Structure 1
């Protein structure tokens, strides 16, 4: 198993926690770290030598099925991603839960949680809408039935259990919906890369800093564990190879294989993980250690620092795009987020890896309009947006933005958002060579080509929310 290369430390300032990239370890330190791994205290729910991610999920699933009746005597930690439940949310919640159960940081160690639950923040029925997740699970031989979904957790919670459950948020920093009603006062940790909403200020850790993938923050939070793991035995090597496959998936998907929107934490995490990929039996076989330059400044080019993850990236993107048999409703709810603002107005944003033109062409203008109206009615929305991100046959990376008001109350703020977005994201009318599939822009309803292709939902949502709530 390859040794982790030395990485120049990169310092970030957080309110409650600071991480540093791992350093090369001496032989004396290596021996000490190996002893630490071999004598990691037993955590209930974990039986050595099988400390795999797969075993962790299966055992945790059984604990949830039993209704968490033990919570009165032994606390439970719930780790949940956001309600879009994309690869980043899934992986960051699973890895934080798994690594905490084996290598608890200070706060978690004090609580000695009996059960740590990685939650997929969607219903069981929605799992089938994520072919990229199915691909990743299959790659790692994880049965989808071992995932713990939101509806199953809420059904399993017995009366009086909620007060004994603590919550860590990953890939978002504001709990929403049913989970917020039950657990909002129980949030003890936050790791996220979206705009900071200024909540849970005493959480520890509280890491809310921009990067391409939230999973990068999770990996860097446990960086010392990975340094130690390079000295582990064969079983440890297999476990950490699976962890590397898990962690790299959202990092390379969310940063276009480290070529777009990747920041220092992403390069640090990718370098840590890439050195563990050594299998020759799967699409990740081309992954090699990230060769970071001697100068690890933010100005270093991504091309010089990217891992050779091309085959893995391509397989994941192809899986994510496999939505040809989806209904329009399924496409709209596959990668969807919504917010209810203080003034009572509600907005939702759907995202897709297939072009807006492809979507409208597949269903036709009339059915597309009717489908959006039906979805807005189902979700009780005042405003709605549909975003895409895709690469053309000519190799050009593109984004489009569709926006519409769904109620009379939503018209004025939607018009305000469209005007602001035109300037903020360089929205352009479609040219003669662009195919918008016969859709005609109307008042508070229309689609534009997005000139600023770096602006994803992370950037669009805050502006739309600001306009909707009247700020």
Structure 2
């Protein structure tokens, strides 16, 4: 009997030990194990000077911020759309600022800031491919993205030495307090920072062309040239190639061609023909750029999103948040990739995304091609206008703003707008048009912005 009781006691204690929760001492190795952390955040380290420079610069910036030395840094930033041109131009100029001054009495500290969240970078497959080709660390560990800033831009803009704008004519509102040191852009000059130096606006296929040309001009005037990493040179060629259709598009300029020639001569591809290199790059990157079928509607909306606060004359609502999405698919296709494959679901997902980022009025610009009677494909564009009433403006104001913007868009008869085939199913403050003009975001955005700025 005593033996049976003893065995029962041992068994009970054993079960209690197994069932008891782990103590903090027991749990600690599981939570903080270095090998476990490495398994969660494993990445393939980049190879070469360009990757090493980018990663080291990111580390030094964060160290200086922690030490209260943000004032020593220049942030080179492109637009929030985060395409290959914008990213490359920012990286190239930051690289140039640091390397061109490193042997002077006043060396500069500069870092490229990508105004795109880390998890959104791969929504542009061509970016990932170009960075992989440039031997950068996987997972974009070498790059500083907007969601990695240790401080909000409104606060940080007061502390940094200044900002440089590339592929962007004016800073987003959250950076408006920062000093603008230089501007490089291939869009319309909006008169911002007239004293910036250099301040270059030129209609080229790629903004990277302008930055690379200035970089080479200054490099060749130095007493001793610094090392230009071949990975950066090849990234520059990639950005120019995809924006210029391999130097064959109608937007290609002499500057794009001549700058590409100069970059090629310094690259590891110097023994190859320029047009062959650029055509191959364009083909490879363009094929990658089209690989979007795996993206959800939310990803399509945020993949190429640009927006900011816009001032209005209204006393009740002096600013509204306006955003633009560019999507290379029709509205019908986008509806089919939603969970329920229904119109209501498109607007539900769109509403969730715009609520998340606090947008009042949004415009989605869709473009796609259709075959017409078995002939050459025809390009179709769509404009989707939506105004919310739950962020800064009430229902009456939202109705008024929607009417003003809708009228402004429809007043441009040269667009040839037609109501979408399911327009009767739309809810209040929703409108969709289709058209066959070449009017892209560069045309539509000013129309909408002017209407918003005139709304009272």
TM superposition score category, shorter chain reference: 0.7 to 0.9
1:152 equivalent to 2:148? Answer: yes
Quick one: distance in 2 between partners of 1:192 and 1:451? 28
Quick one: distance in 1 between partners of 2:299 and 2:135? 26
The aligned residue for residue 82 of structure 1 is 79
Residue 171 of structure 2, aligned match among 148, 151, 175: 175
Residue 241 of structure 2, aligned match among 222, 238, 252: 252
Structure 1: runs of 5+ lacking an equivalent: 1-49, 291-306, 431-435
Quick one: distance in 2 between partners of 1:202 and 1:74? 20
Contact 2:246 2:279 in 1 (8 A): yes
Quick one: distance in 1 between partners of 2:152 and 2:398? 38
The aligned residue for residue 197 of structure 1 is 190
Superposed counterparts of 1:265-284, under 5 Å:
265-276=255-266, 279=269
Cα distance change on mapping 1:392 and 1:60 into 2, 3 Å: farther
- 1:389, distance to aligned residue in structure 2 (A): 4.0
Cα distance change on mapping 1:417 and 1:73 into 2, 3 Å: closer
Contact 1:248 1:270 in 2 (8 A): yes
Superposed counterparts of 1:66-465, under 5 Å:
66-68=63-65, 72=69, 75-104=72-101, 111-113=106-108, 115-143=109-137, 144-155=140-151, 163-180=159-176, 184-224=177-217, 239=228, 241-258=230-247, 259-276=249-266, 279=269, 288-289=273-274, 309-343=278-312, 344-363=319-338, 364=341, 365-390=343-368, 394-407=376-389, 408=395, 409-422=397-410, 423=412, 426-429=415-418, 438=422, 440=424, 442=426, 444-453=429-438, 455-465=439-449
Higher Rg of the two aligned structures: 2
- 1:70, distance to aligned residue in structure 2 (A): 6.3
Quick one: distance in 2 between partners of 1:376 and 1:354? 19
Quick one: distance in 1 between partners of 2:150 and 2:263? 34
For the residue of structure 2 that corresponds to 1:154, the secondary structure is: coil
Quick one: distance in 2 between partners of 1:392 and 1:240? 43
- 1:469, distance to aligned residue in structure 2 (A): 1.3
- 1:378, distance to aligned residue in structure 2 (A): 2.5
Contact 2:61 2:73 in 1 (8 A): no
Contact 1:75 1:112 in 2 (8 A): no
Give per-residue Cα distances to partners, 1:99-137, cap 9 Å, x unaligned.
2222259xx978521x21111112333334332221111
For the residue of structure 2 that corresponds to 1:401, the secondary structure is: strand
Quick one: distance in 2 between partners of 1:313 and 1:141? 19
Contact 2:61 2:70 in 1 (8 A): no
Cα distance change on mapping 1:124 and 1:375 into 2, 3 Å: same
- 1:358, distance to aligned residue in structure 2 (A): 2.5
- 1:383, distance to aligned residue in structure 2 (A): 1.8
Contact 1:425 1:451 in 2 (8 A): no
For the residue of structure 1 that corresponds to 2:126, the secondary structure is: helix
Quick one: distance in 2 between partners of 1:223 and 1:241? 14
Contact 2:85 2:240 in 1 (8 A): yes
Give per-residue Cα distances to partners, 1:179-225, cap 9 Å, x unaligned.
44xxx232211112233332222111122333332212101212326
Give per-residue Cα distances to partners, 1:222-253, cap 9 Å, x unaligned.
23267689x99xx95xx554233211333333
For the residue of structure 1 that corresponds to 2:205, the secondary structure is: coil
Name the stretch that deviates more: 245-254 or 165-174.
245-254
Q: TM-score, normalised by structure 2?
A: 0.72
Contact 2:160 2:178 in 1 (8 A): no
The aligned residue for residue 39 of structure 1 is none
Q: CA RMSD in A?
A: 3.7
Cα distance change on mapping 1:255 and 1:463 into 2, 3 Å: farther
Consecutive aligned runs of 4 or more in structure 1 exceeding 6 Å deviation = 226-229
Contact 2:173 2:308 in 1 (8 A): no
- 1:368, distance to aligned residue in structure 2 (A): 0.9
For the residue of structure 2 that corresponds to 1:339, the secondary structure is: strand
Contact 2:163 2:180 in 1 (8 A): yes
Structure 2: runs of 5+ lacking an equivalent: 1-46, 313-318, 390-394
The aligned residue for residue 29 of structure 1 is none
Q: TM-score, normalised by structure 1?
A: 0.70
